[in-house]
A and B are shown apart, each in its own frame.
Chain A
Amino acid sequence: MSSREIELLAEQERVLSLHTDRMFGVVFAVQWALAVALALVFSPRTWDGEVPGVHLHVYAAVLGGGILSIYPIYLALKRAGQPLNRYIIAIAQIGYSCLLIHLTGGRIETHFHVFGSIAFLSAYRDPRPVLLATGLTALDHFARGALIPESVYGVWSASPLRALEHAAWVAFEDVFLLVMIRRSRREMAQLALHQARVESTLLNVEAIVVERTRALYETRSKVQEQEGLMLQASRMSALGEMAAGIAHEINNPLTVIMGKAGQLREAYGRTPLPSPEAARASLQKIEDTCKRIALIISGLRKFSRNSDKEPLELTQLSRMFEEVAELSRERFKAGGVGLELPTALNVSLECRPVEIAQVLVNLLNNAYDAVSGQPNAWVRVEAKARDAVVEIAVTDSGLGIPVEVAEKMMQPFFTTKEVGKGTGLGLSISRGIVEDHGGTIRLDRGCRNTRFVVVFPATQSARRAA
């Protein structure tokens, strides 16, 4: 037997003895009431001729019954489960058999109380109180048989065999009870064994679950880390695709600045000096051009930063479109592709702006790559707000996407661009970003040109309502 089994068995026995003690508490209260009722109904008075007196049975029932009952009831209420209780209860129960037999005038039927009491005591599933009660019954018979035999057997000289005969009937019952107690104890031990096994299995399963969960968390955090790196890499890749255009975009204003600065330097070396208005106009041009460069650099910095932990913010789409267009405009111009942006747009979107700009850049790059070199190529960006959603569409002058490509284009690493030009991650990452914002991205098959439509909930409360 393992220590846990012994512990469980001891707990079972403790609970059992507690409940049995309490059960006997009730039994003793009922027996006491019964004894008093018997005395009051059948022998309330004794007579000395015509003079009545209280019958001794009444005292025996009230006081004697009290002595026999109160202590076991106290034990049941205050000291239930103590190891000594079962012996006290066994003695009291046999005492009650004597009292009730006496109160009923020795009726043979009342003797069944002895058999019932011993059977009740077997509820402890312990042979000792059963044997104690049996021993007391035998002792009572032997003692009274020896001292006042007529009170037990009704004959003047009782044979010792008569005591044995009476005890034998009780022993007959004991045999059954002891067998049942033994079987019951065996079942308790088996129950403890099963419970210990179940507990042990549960502990093992719990340890496995903890280990697997830990591994799962580790994997998940690695995947999240990889996803972040991938997003950043993709963004830098998109930026790479625009790098030539951006360099050109910065170079042009620099040429303007250098030209204006040279003009000013030369003008101040000559006489007459240039008019203050002309000088101010040149300086204004230099300042405006510098602002333009600053805007481009600001867009680049914003676009290239890691946006993983950025909060959602309400963003004016017109400003976002301007910044993205600044990064792409020169490239589009060089490739002979017209870029149309919405004018007087007043639509806001609650989003992480860097991520949405990335989606837009991806769509613009794809559109540019698809139509550059074609005659009258154009790309158009539109946006509108309706029913708590914001819809952004990027349309190019191409004539749609073949079905077999459309089916796979959202998969990672799928690309139709030549080697070294695309990563195959643009659309799949864009879809991830859009879905992360609670939106959808799809190819508009109803349009005769190639048109991608992105739909977002305008705010997060609209997203939750959806």
Chain B
Amino acid sequence: MEPVHSEKKPLTALDFGGALTWLLSSCALYGALVWYASTPGASGVSPRTALAAGEAARGELKVFLHPLCPCSRATLSELERLMPSIRDKAEVSLIFVQLPGRQLASEGSALWERARKIPGVKLQLDKDVAEAARFGARTSGHAVLYDAQGRLAFSGGLTAARGHEGDSPGRAAILEWAEQGDQPAFGLAPTYGCSLKKKGGA
């Protein structure tokens, strides 16, 4: 082994104090991360019915997205996993809110490009966040599901935490609806992501 320079020194109160301070700081960091990840965004009230009963052959899943929200990448990942199960039972629309400013253009954004590659989804633009407001969506990643009869079957996010992929209450609720067929069902889940519209804005 190469020459060793450091000698073993006895542990002092300073060592233990330093270790304890560091440990407490690390715990605080851990707590902050858990708190942030598990704090959902705002959510409005989704209308109980969206379509005229019996008009549609399939249900309808609408997912509202902020074009630059980093946490919504996890929402798209979850949607990709859901698609094989719901493709035949619901028409899936990804609705990107159209915000003022060139930087915020939905078309061409990384999230838009990724969404475009998911087979069987329709991409739409929501001018002035009007459509999102109509369906009670205030946070990017908010999904609303209506069955063929136009009844609200689910409202909320598809991820378990902020930007966190994996099993989630939202995914579980939609899969449950898909498996139950025409049985009426209703689920709610928190949504994690950026605000679709500036808080306090018009």
A residues sitting closer than 8 Å to B (CB atoms) are 14-15, 18-19, 42-52, 55-57, 60, 63-64, 67-68, 71, 79-84, 88, 91-92, 95, 98-99, 102, 105-108, 144, 148, 150-151, 153-156
Q: Please report the C-alpha to C-alpha distance between residue A49 and residue B34 in the assembled complex, in whole angstroms.
A: 24
Checking A15, A52, A106 against B4 with a beta-carbon cut-off of 8 angstroms, the contacting residue is A15
Checking B15, B99, B197 against A84 with a beta-carbon cut-off of 8 angstroms, the contacting residue is B15
CB distance from A336 to the nearest CB of B (A): 85
Judge whether A154 and B167 touch: CB under 8 Å: yes
Checking A43, A49, A55, A102 against B37 with a beta-carbon cut-off of 8 angstroms, the contacting residue is A102
Q: Please report the C-alpha to C-alpha distance between residue A348 and residue B198 in the assembled complex, in whole angstroms.
A: 118
Known: A14-B8, A151-B160, A153-B167. A60 touches B195 (CB 8 A): no
B165 close to chain A: CB less than 8 A: yes
Checking A19, A67, A80 against B22 with a beta-carbon cut-off of 8 angstroms, the contacting residue is A67
* B contact residues, total (Cβ < 8 Å): 55
Judge whether A105 and B73 touch: CB under 8 Å: yes
Q: Please report the C-alpha to C-alpha distance between residue A108 and residue B201 in the assembled complex, in whole angstroms.
A: 38
B153 close to chain A: CB less than 8 A: no
Chain B positions 1-22 with a Cβ under 8 Å from a chain A Cβ: 1, 4, 6-9, 11, 15-16, 18-19, 22
Checking A44, A64, A81, A148 against B8 with a beta-carbon cut-off of 8 angstroms, the contacting residue is A81
B33 close to chain A: CB less than 8 A: yes
Q: Please report the C-alpha to C-alpha distance between residue A138 and residue B9 in the assembled complex, in whole angstroms.
A: 33
CB distance from A64 to the nearest CB of B (A): 4
Q: Can you name 30 A-B residue pairings with CB atoms under 8 Å?
A: A18-B4, A19-B1, A43-B71, A43-B163, A46-B69, A47-B66, A47-B140, A47-B195, A48-B199, A49-B198, A56-B36, A60-B33, A67-B29, A68-B26, A71-B19, A79-B15, A88-B19, A88-B23, A91-B23, A91-B26, A105-B73, A105-B77, A105-B165, A106-B160, A148-B38, A150-B160, A151-B160, A151-B164, A154-B166, A155-B169
Q: Please report the C-alpha to C-alpha distance between residue A42 and residue B11 in the assembled complex, in whole angstroms.
A: 42
Chain B residue at smallest Cβ distance from A10: B8
Known: A18-B6, A67-B22, A91-B23. A46 touches B70 (CB 8 A): yes
The 8 A CB mask of B99-139 against A (1 = contact, 0 = none) is: 11100100000000000000000000000010000000000
Q: Which residues of the other chain, B, contact A47 by a CB distance below 8 angstroms?
A: 66, 68-69, 140, 194-195
Judge whether B171 and A154 touch: CB under 8 Å: yes
Checking B70, B168, B169 against A43 with a beta-carbon cut-off of 8 angstroms, the contacting residue is B70
B172 close to chain A: CB less than 8 A: yes
Checking B11, B18, B172 against A71 with a beta-carbon cut-off of 8 angstroms, the contacting residue is B18
Q: Which residues of the other chain, A, contact B7 by a CB distance below 8 angstroms?
A: 81
Chain B positions 165-202 with a Cβ under 8 Å from a chain A Cβ: 165-169, 171-172, 194-199, 201
Q: Please report the C-alpha to C-alpha distance between residue A79 and residue B122 in the assembled complex, in whole angstroms.
A: 60
Q: Which residues of the other chain, A, contact B11 by a CB distance below 8 angstroms?
A: 82-84
Chain B residue at smallest Cβ distance from A64: B29
Judge whether B99 and A50 touch: CB under 8 Å: yes
B94 close to chain A: CB less than 8 A: no
Q: Please report the C-alpha to C-alpha distance between residue A155 and residue B195 in the assembled complex, in whole angstroms.
A: 25
Q: Which residues of the other chain, A, contact B9 by a CB distance below 8 angstroms?
A: 79, 82
Q: Please report the C-alpha to C-alpha distance between residue A80 and residue B30 in the assembled complex, in whole angstroms.
A: 26
CB distance from B162 to the nearest CB of A (A): 8
Judge whether B8 and A48 touch: CB under 8 Å: no
Q: Please report the C-alpha to C-alpha distance between residue A60 and residue B16 in the assembled complex, in whole angstroms.
A: 25
Q: Please report the C-alpha to C-alpha distance between residue A108 and residue B164 in the assembled complex, in whole angstroms.
A: 10
B49 close to chain A: CB less than 8 A: no
Judge whether B6 and A81 touch: CB under 8 Å: yes
